[in-house]
Structure 1
């Protein structure tokens, strides 16, 4: 009787284990490459980015050389981008470009790379609360500028070219504003030479940006503090030629007036 009971217990345990295994069974195990791709794309369109990523990864693992897997390599990058996983998105884009350098959608890959870097340090909170763009980390912004520049260099007629140009203008202004933010930091601490160098950097690298008059004013103020009157007058002359109102205000200030801009 004891032996029979033990046998029944073993049968029940085996049934339970088998049932659990069936419950954990991958529902996509018999899906074709086409079905995996379509389900991934549908999940992407629904905004279910985690599900989309899972299906794209399964597609690439099971059918690495098919046409669906190749397209999926680019679409998974977009899924990562929308899921706010920039590192994974950049890795997927770089892998796609390395494997498909002449792909018809290579321009989009560079465009998506630029978008990802542009938004890399944008947290959920920053999307809803106004952020001082000058205080953002400039490294991903510079990288985004380079990405959009690469797109324009190799694909000047791309459908993404115009938007890339506009974004590069905004990025250029943001990077110049960042330099002025740093220069203002130096001015507040009496680091006149460092402040003047930041102003000069803006003139040399971001000519035409909205930060140029601020850069010139920083240079005038900083050089005056350093008793470099010739350099101060040179900067003031350029300021007067291009921004006469700002120059008049600054010329009226006595030497030693170093309040930050």
Structure 2
């Protein structure tokens, strides 16, 4: 009798377990259905109306709300013309809120999705401006400076007639000046420690890549200093000659001339020098 009771009890337990599993499966199915419904959620508001709502919020200076509205439009109408317009607005409102990483991401997404669209010029401008706003002082890493230069350079190359090209060219000169300043700062560091070869390599980058910046005169003088200290007189003379030819009234040239005079030398250009070749056909005045 006891064995029968135990056997019946086991059958009952298995039945309850099966019923529990069935209920659980029903629950999972319900959850899955709910999740699918959420994924397929739609709005009755037309794309144009959502876009106009976003524009109104943007024009009122309510940038966070505008950004949310444009993102909502992109979610509901991802391949529409208004989604494209919203994306460039997302970049703009994030830039206006000083949310530069978000602005950059939205603008980069726009240029990827719509590379031939005229608004890509504005997207590149936002990218460049966002990096430009984050440029640190010359003693720190200049990665953002380089990225700003790249974005502005692409803008000028691809859209030379756009309304943003002129300001982009101005920012290119500013970023190049910053990058040259960084090379000069590092070069002077090595020069003070008598590491002349390392110093020359830094000043050489300025002469080769940033000839139109305000640092070019000092870079040429520092090359005179460094080569003279190493005893490479012909390169020191060439650097002084190039400096005197392009900036005859510069104090840097006067200092270079006086330095060579202490050893009985004078500025003299060597046509085979990399310095002479770097300035061939280039007017830096």
- From 52, 55, 60, give the equivalent of 2:74: 60
Q: State the shift of 1:151 in Å.
A: 1.6
Larger Rg: 2
Q: Is the 8 A contact 2:135 2:142 kept in 1?
A: no
4+ runs deviating over 4 angstroms: none
Q: Which residue of 2 aligns with 1:237?
A: 241
Deviations 1:47-75 (A, max 9, x none): 33222221111111112122221100111
Q: Which residue of 2 aligns with 1:213?
A: 217
- From 256, 273, 278, give the equivalent of 1:250: 256
**Is there any run of 5+ residues in structure 2 with no aligned partner, and where?**
1-42, 264-285
1:202 is the counterpart of 2:216: no
Q: Which residue of 2 aligns with 1:75?
A: 89
Give the aligned length: 218
Q: Which residue of 2 aligns with 1:109?
A: 123
Aligned-CA RMSD value: 2.2
**Is there any run of 5+ residues in structure 1 with no aligned partner, and where?**
1-28, 123-131, 256-261
Worse-matched range after superposition: 207-216 or 144-153: 144-153
Cα separation, 1, equivalents of 2:244 and 2:258: 12
Q: State the shift of 1:30 in Å.
A: 5.5
Q: Which residue of 2 aligns with 1:48?
A: 62
Deviations 1:77-115 (A, max 9, x none): 111212222222221112112211222312111121111
Cα separation, 1, equivalents of 2:247 and 2:124: 38
Q: State the shift of 1:201 in Å.
A: 0.8
Structure ranking higher on relative contact order (CA contacts 8 Å, 6+ apart)? 1
Cα separation, 2, equivalents of 1:216 and 1:102: 43
Q: Which residue of 2 aligns with 1:179?
A: 183
**Residue 120 of structure 1: SS of its match in structure 2?**
coil
Cα separation, 2, equivalents of 1:249 and 1:218: 10
Q: State the shift of 1:203 in Å.
A: 0.8
**Residue 137 of structure 1: SS of its match in structure 2?**
coil
**Residue 79 of structure 2: SS of its match in structure 1?**
coil
Q: Is the 8 A contact 1:121 1:136 kept in 2?
A: no
**Residue 175 of structure 1: SS of its match in structure 2?**
helix
Worse-matched range after superposition: 35-44 or 160-169: 35-44
Q: State the shift of 1:40 in Å.
A: 2.0
Q: Which residue of 2 aligns with 1:5?
A: none
